[in-house]
């Protein structure tokens, strides 16, 4: 699994002009699922994200996690995170999981985050054309790939 995590002061996602998910201070997480991903990737990644210390403490140092600041989370599925641009100019998405695998894993990832935070997690709509708006706070943007955890 590959994620792009953005520390936000607010974010939202709309489908056909209607906002379907939003968050205030917290994290916008774009997640790409590949065929090789397993439940182990979900567990490792959700714990890593929840404990990632990227929020400022009173001294302005990044010492607090999203849990520490009681932050909110918006998760959006984005298969294009697995684009390969090695050959030619048209990206290949051969590593991205198809919907039969990706949709259940996406739901499991959201559930794992919900269990870790004990809070509802806002989401986009899997497979839909979405418009994402955000105010990146910092800016702080972190990329994590569960296949590169060592």
Give the max Cα distance, the chain. 48
Burial tier of 36 (Cβ tally within 10 Å: 0-12, 13-18, 19+) = exposed
Rounded to whole angstroms, the Cα distance separating 78 from 5 reads 12
Determine how many CB atoms are found less than 10 A away from the CB of residue 73. Answer: 26
**Residue in 80, 85, 117, 141 annotated catalytic:** 80
80: annotated active-site residue: yes
Rounded to whole angstroms, the Cα distance separating 70 from 110 reads 17
Assess contact for 33 and 106: CB atoms under 8 A: yes
Which residues are catalytic, by number? 80
């Amino acid at each position: 699994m590959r994620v792009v995590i953005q520390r936000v002061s607010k974010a939202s996602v709309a489908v056909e002009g209607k906002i379907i998910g939003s968050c205030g201070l917290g994290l916008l997480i774009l997640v790409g699922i590949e065929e090789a991903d397993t439940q182990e990737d979900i567990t490792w990644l959700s714990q890593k994200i929840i404990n990632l210390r990227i929020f400022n403490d009173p001294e302005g140092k990044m010492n607090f996690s999203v849990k520490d600041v009681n932050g909110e989370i918006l998760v959006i599925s984005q298969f294009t995170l697995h684009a390969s641009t090695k050959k030619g100019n048209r990206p290949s998405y051969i590593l991205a999981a198809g919907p039969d695998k990706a949709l259940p894993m996406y739901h499991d990832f959201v559930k794992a985050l919900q269990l870790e935070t004990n809070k509802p997690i806002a989401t986009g709509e899997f497979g839909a054309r979405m418009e994402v708006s955000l105010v990146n706070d910092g800016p702080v943007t972190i990329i994590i790939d569960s296949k590169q955890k060592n």
